[in-house]
Amino acid sequence: MYIIAIILFAIIVAVIIMSRNRSKTNNNSVEIEKKGKNNNPPNVTSKAGIPEPVLNSTLAQHLKQSTDDITLSEHKAPIYNASPEPKTSPFETLTASELVEKFGLYDPKLDLPDYKYPPIDLLDTDLNSSPVNAGDLDNNKQRIVALLNTHRIKIDAIKATVGPTVSIYEITPATGVRIQQIKNLETDIALTLSSVGTKVIGHIPGTNNIGIEVPHSTPQLVSIQSVLGSHTFVDASMQLPICLGKTMDNKVFVKDLATLPHLLIAGTTGQGKSVALTSIITSLLYKKHPAELKFVMIDLNGIELTPYSSIGNHFLAKTSSAKKAIVTSLDAAESSLSSLCIEMDRRYSLFQDAQTRTIVDYNKKFVNRTLDPSSGNRYLSYIVILIDEFADLQTTTNKSIEQLVIRLAQRGRSVGIHLIISTQRPSVKIITGVIKSNIASRLALKVITAIDSNTILDTSGAEHLNGNGEALFSDGINITHIQGGFVSSAEIEAVNSFINHQHSYATPMLLPEYIDSFAPKPFDSDDRDPMFEDAARLVVLHQQGSPSLIQRKLKLGYNRAGRIVDQLEAAGIVGPFEGSKAREVLYPDEYSLERYLEGLN
């Protein structure tokens, strides 16, 4: 019995020892398995000093025998090479009101906090203009009354209002007098006053009076200082206030470009088109901060708008590939307008995500910190596109530029993109019906014929203007007779110099880059077809750039003829592909072509 008891005790002790070893093995296997799930960091060994790969292989059979009641979630292994938790945006943790309370409203002007607006004393006040003599006004009134009495036309009162270039005599007709009776005496009134250009303008809106305009013998110039320093302009609560001059009754004429929303300026050479353009630019420079406004200036002549290159980092926008802030080439003009279309589409996407319809509503939300900048939202500045001599773009390129301008005119208003186009050739080929339908606001300076006036304003009248900045402004409904403000070159230089000497952005505003996937490959004169010159002479002779012509006349296959046409396009001899139409031939005669081919050889 004693021997049996010893054997049983030894068996029980052995079972207990084996059970403890088995439990310890299972715990080690769970730790090893969890370490394997944490990317198996190098140079990690077990407590026994055995490398993990070896340990895993030796304990493989024990891992299979691990008990089901042990779960991995009960044993947490350390995490190796864990990246820090990403920083959350304040917009994800705070409401808009809490952000405003903590950071305040967003202020776009803080990028240039010390920027100062140009002072009014930079502008000249003395334009050497002689005032109208009060005695002459009284004499003219007496002559008008005497003439009307001669024709038995009775009036109750007459008064004179002196304007910049004309004086307006307001007549209050007696009861029963018809306006047409006085209009019929327009020639007689001009003869009586010895004044060329006198006209009866008819009923003056808002009054019971009839107006007679009498031009001054020495017209007065309207200084830009008198306009920009007026309370009408200084106190204007407009988004983009532009001062166009003064009306004939000496009232400052200010319009909001944001509501126009585009403007067409047209008139013959030397009548004040460029001065009107610079007065508009000066108006905006006096009212807007560089963070609120950017210009895209297109001047193919490189004369009128180049003085503003000195304020490029403050107020101009350009593409990243452009060398100059002022666009002076056709390719750069097309690229800039294409980039503006991309910017316009991006702004519409931002509006859609922000559930807004206008740039004012969008910027208001951004300023109130309800839009997250990390989602691509940003404060949007107004962009004003200035095109000097639009006719150069129309006559020297294909229809692509006109299509870009029309697209910007149709959709740019809501996103803060506005067009100001000027031209000195007011013909139907330049100012097309599509352009007029999308640009309702127009400024007509003096033109030669009534046909030109109809082209600009859809009515006559501009042919009777006296020039020197006198213009008719139409907002699509009403026409206002104004005298434009005069800005001298010295004043432009003084304003630009004041802005240029202040702290600015590092570069002009960069527009999205436009990549033309259909642009022709660069022309390699060494890799041209042997029949290249013969084909060039052929298309210039027939003024028709089609592969079928080359194929038929030179007896070539269609594929080879098509490659030759591609080479002619790359060489600038024919224009781009235009669907079923033949390509435009860019050389008018064989003489100019031969000179070009000599240069290639």
| Annotated binding residues for ATP | 267-274
Query: Rounded to whole angstroms, how far apart are CA atoms 81 and 86?
Result: 15
Q: Which residues are annotated as a binding site?
A: 267-274
Strand, helix or coil at 565? helix
CA distance 198 to 185: 11
**What SS3 state is found at 170?**
strand
Do you find a cis peptide bond into 113, omega within 30 degrees of 0? Answer: no
How far apart (Å, rounded) are the C-alpha atoms in residues 488 and 224? 9
What are 1's two structure tokens? 């019995």
First to last CA, the chain: 124
The first and second tokens of residue 230, run together, are 């007026």
What are residue 383's phi and psi, to 5 degrees? -125, 120
Helical axes 590-600 vs 532-542, angle rounded to 10°: 160
| 441 bridge partner residues | 263
- 68-73: long-range pairs with CB below 8 Å, 24+: 70/26, 70/30, 72/30, 72/33, 72/34
CB 30 within 8 A of CB 66: yes
Nearest residue to 315 via CA among 299, 330, 326, 331: 326
Tell me, letter by letter, the H, E, C secondary structure of 184-226: CCHHHHHHHHCCCCCEEEEECCCCCCEEEEEECCCCCCEEHHH
If DSSP codes are grouped into helix, strand and coil, which group holds residue 183?
helix
Strands (E), 240-376: 241-247, 252-256, 263-266, 293-299, 317-319
Report residue 413 as tokens: 């208003």
Environment class of 308 (CB within 10 Å of its CB; exposed 0-12, middle 13-18, buried 19+):
buried
* Distance separating alpha carbons of residues 209 and 172, to the nearest angstrom: 5
Tokens of 518: 């259909």
What is the spatial order of strands in the sheet that 210-215 belongs to?
A: 155-162, 166-173, 210-215, 199-203
C-alpha angle 201/206/209, rounded to 5°? 50
Nearest Cα to Cα of residue 69 among 37, 19, 27: 27
Q: Report d(CA 532, CA 567) in Å as an integer.
A: 8
Longest dimension (CA), the chain: 164
255: three-class secondary structure by DSSP: strand
What tokens appear for 561 in the block?
């003829």
State the Cα–Cα distance between residues 67 and 478, nearest whole angstrom.
Answer: 93
The answer to whether 512 touches 318, Cβ cutoff 8 Å, is: no
Please give the angle made by the CA atoms of 296, 299 and 300, to the nearest 5 degrees: 135
